[in-house]
Structure 1
Amino acid sequence: MSTAEAVTESVDILIVGGGMVGVALACAIAPTGLNIRILESREDRPEQLIDALPTLTEAGFDPRVSALTCASQQLLTHLGAWPHILDTRASAYTDMRVWDGTGRGEIHFGADELHEPCLGHIVENRVTLAALYRVMQQADNVQFDTGVKIESISSPDPLGARKVRLGDGRSIETRLLVAADGANSRVRALTGMGATEWDYGHHAIVTTIETEDPHQSTCWQRFTEDGPLALLPLAHPNGRTLSIVWSTSPGHARELMALDDESFCQALGKAFEHRLGHILSVDKRHVHPLRQRHAQRYVQAGLALVGDAAHTIHPLAGQGVNLGFLDAAALAEVILDAHERGENWAQEAVLRRFQRMRRADNIQTAAVMEGFRRLFDDLPAPLRLLRSSGMNLMDRISPVKQHLVLMAMGLRGEVPRLARRPLA
């Protein structure tokens, strides 16, 4: 038996997945003083991203961006990460324009109608992650291991504790195992946590573009015949740089990816109805297949699923990472409160409080996104007319429209304490 095989370490909380949601969770729980370990399969160390970020930022934009809601901003502010994000770059957006590409329906959402400074911020994922890494480094009780592969996970003992065996022969015993390892979660698979999933029949093309006309601090979304096309404003001095998420059929996505840059810009401009003039340039394009998944339950004794490990949804409203941050805030709230009361926070009965806080809300959001996607499928002309009329009617009913956008911003409904805006 090698030295590595003989080693068994012990931690209070083991988080598998060192992305935005997993690190946010660790930072939120750190004030308890519990011994927290994060396992990340990638080799890159947190300090590498922090050190490289100025150079990366100067060179261009991360094609992966998120439309962070006010609730996510509040959580990141509470953790101390938001100032780091603002010091790097973030693009506040004040308006959203959504229209039916096969009809005449259009809805406009404006921050001024809500007496808010903005509706949210478009932030590159690596900027958010680096900010969370900075906060994590200040916590002595959080350890981050990279290049880690999980081989097996034991069943829970009577108190819920599990043993995780790693690829290098080490084992880690933990009171609570948290899966934050993404849509194809290894933890979810090894622990038998079933999930319902289906293919959306869409692939998403993501990249960065420059337009002829300014983006006006507006998020633009057109529902095309093949799927939604979103243009999101980025923080560039020229005011004409945007991130795109173009969801379309797999065949159309292959055709678009095969085009040269000039032809792609022309196709994009046409699909976007040239709302911002010509598309002047495009960065490297990336394509991702889209599937919806939802775990049948989020918790077992000594186990919890958060973020994409628990649920994935269509990116048409940019809610994915925001739901993950709300998961992190809710699980942290349950653990913090149980720890303060002296309860066993790894017990399934305690963890079910987290599941009750988040699962119904996540299912509802997924259902709404699926409803929107189906609503804008290719429909007969009479139904397209009805759809457009409904959009125009909603645009004129301010209370309904305001309620919808406030819910999307995380300013209405049951929001976890750490993501809740403080009372004035």
Structure 2
Amino acid sequence: MFDIAVVGGGLVGLPLALGFAQAGFKVAVIDAQAPEEVARAEFDGRVSALSPASLAMFGQLGVLPHLENRLQPVTDIMVTDGKVGGRAAPFFLHFDAADNEAGPLMHMAENRHIRIAAQKAAERAPDTLHQIAPDGAESFARDAGGVEVRLASGRVIRARLAVAADGRASRLRAFAGLKTVGWSYDQMGIVTTVEHELPHDGTAQEYFLPSGPFAILPMQGNRSSLVWSEKTALAKTIMAMDEEGFARECAKRFGDYLGAHRPVGPRWSYPLGLQLAHDYVSERIALVGDAAHVLHPLAGQGLNWGLKDAAALVEVTAETARVGLDIGSLAALERYQRWRRFDAVSLALVTDGLNRLFSNDVGPLRLLRDVGLGLVGKLGPARRFLMREAAGGSGDVPKLLKGEPV
């Protein structure tokens, strides 16, 4: 019998399990993929923007020492409007690390390096952490005392609390009857890595193009990750192009400010949409990360918000156990829901509104948003407020995000 079963051992699930183990719980983390499989470059070529709060959490969990030499500091963020093949708008929003007392605005890391670092931390975690992989969760059963997870291997795991960290199509969420609301943006995200002649100097660029945002995110060396939102029909055409055609499409949007450049390595695509769970908890079951909320990537906060879920759930569960209450009871889990749901819904609505405002070529709207970007860029307090929000240090911050033990 485990205290907690975490279904999904990915970028949020494994750190969550590390947090539970560090708090003294006997935890099983179940993942259908073998650890060596998810660490391959071909498995996930995306990068993630890690806030200072997320790095503090990784430090407390023992992940950061295995990741430090893989981090690219971001010292400037430039946000502007534009058109494919045209000049950027004269108004822009500039976030500068000089305005940020904590240092770099964020750090970029390849997802595979985050997975490897978390895996190394798990190997050194307390022996109350049990990794079960590769072995997928096939079915679930629930009674007054706990949740049973039947695995593909036939093994049955029983725990007092089960946590869904198994992504946007969560099977555990479906079993719990937790409904979602959402919609498609008729956009696809295209991700690839570009090598370029000139150094990026730690600057991240985000251009709002009529078809969707186009982000250039600095990586280590003279490399950047492109996170490119495009209308679905055109995205499928671009993804089907040969290397030369794909490079031409990248060049139309990338420009020449970093000199000669070319895409390297694989390319990936995935549909973009918004999805929010009505409820994050039911009796003995809680949702975290993409199982609870899927946001548009334009704000770069998806992983940070998932880690904030994880930190809050660990803290609530630990405090519940300390006073001798049932960690899987709905009364205990509803505190976690109150803590996290409002934040996630608020960010989802902001990103949804920004995507709709900027993903068009309507003249009056273009003028309004360009002037708005310029005004926010000139107002120091407004700009610094946005930086604090992105850093993860505002509101009721869980202890792990402060780098403190639970």
Aligned residue in 2 for 1:84? 66
Return the letter of the residue paired with 1:95.
Answer: D
Structure 1 stretch displaced more, 252-261 or 199-208: 252-261
Q: Secondary structure at the match of 2:12?
A: helix
Q: 1:68 aligns with which of 50, 67, 72?
A: 50
Structure-2 separation of matches of 1:390 and 1:35: 51
Provide Cα deviations, 1:255-295, integer angstroms capped at 9, x if missing partner.
Answer: 22133323322322221343323323432211111122111
How many residues in Structure 1 have an aligned counterpart in Structure 2?
A: 398
Aligned-residue offset at 1:379: 4.1
Matches within 5 A, 1:137-176: 137-138=123-124, 139-157=126-144, 159=145, 161-176=146-161
Q: Secondary structure at the match of 2:257?
A: coil
1:93–1:233 contact (8 Å) kept in structure 2: yes
* Structure 1 residue 198 corresponds to structure 2 residue 183: yes
Aligned residue in 1 for 2:80? 99
1:266–1:279 contact (8 Å) kept in structure 2: no
Aligned residue in 1 for 2:32? 41
Structure-2 separation of matches of 1:205 and 1:101: 18
Q: Secondary structure at the match of 2:142?
A: coil
Structure 1 stretch displaced more, 101-110 or 293-302: 101-110
Q: 2:228 aligns with which of 227, 246, 254?
A: 246
Aligned residue in 2 for 1:18? 9
Matches within 5 A, 1:2-17: 10-17=1-8
Aligned-residue offset at 1:251: 1.4
Return the letter of the residue paired with 1:126.
Answer: R
Q: Secondary structure at the match of 1:20?
A: coil
Provide Cα deviations, 1:309-365, integer angstroms capped at 9, x if missing partner.
Answer: 111111112111111100000000111112222222211111111111100000001
Structure-1 separation of matches of 2:131 and 2:202: 37
Aligned residue in 2 for 1:128? 114
Provide Cα deviations, 1:147-176, integer angstroms capped at 9, x if missing partner.
Answer: 32333222331x4x1222233333222100
Structure-1 separation of matches of 2:264 and 2:332: 49
Return the letter of the residue paired with 1:37.
Answer: A
Structure-1 separation of matches of 2:6 and 2:127: 16
Structure-2 separation of matches of 1:297 and 1:373: 25
Aligned residue in 1 for 2:300? 318
Provide Cα deviations, 1:93-133, integer angstroms capped at 9, x if missing partner.
Answer: 10101110144331110001223320011101111111111
> Normalized against structure 2, the TM-score is what?
0.93
Aligned residue in 2 for 1:420? 402
Structure 1 stretch displaced more, 262-271 or 224-233: 262-271
Matches within 5 A, 1:283-294: 283-294=265-276
Q: 2:210 aligns with which of 225, 241, 249?
A: 225
Aligned-residue offset at 1:34: 2.3
2:22–2:61 contact (8 Å) kept in structure 1: no
**Structure 2 gap segments, 5+ residues each:** 84-88
Aligned-residue offset at 1:222: 0.5
**Structure 1 gap segments, 5+ residues each:** 1-9
Provide Cα deviations, 1:223-259, integer angstroms capped at 9, x if missing partner.
Answer: 11111111111112xxx20111101101111222133
Return the letter of the residue paired with 1:201.
Answer: D
Structure 1 stretch displaced more, 379-388 or 399-408: 379-388
Structure-1 separation of matches of 2:263 and 2:119: 32
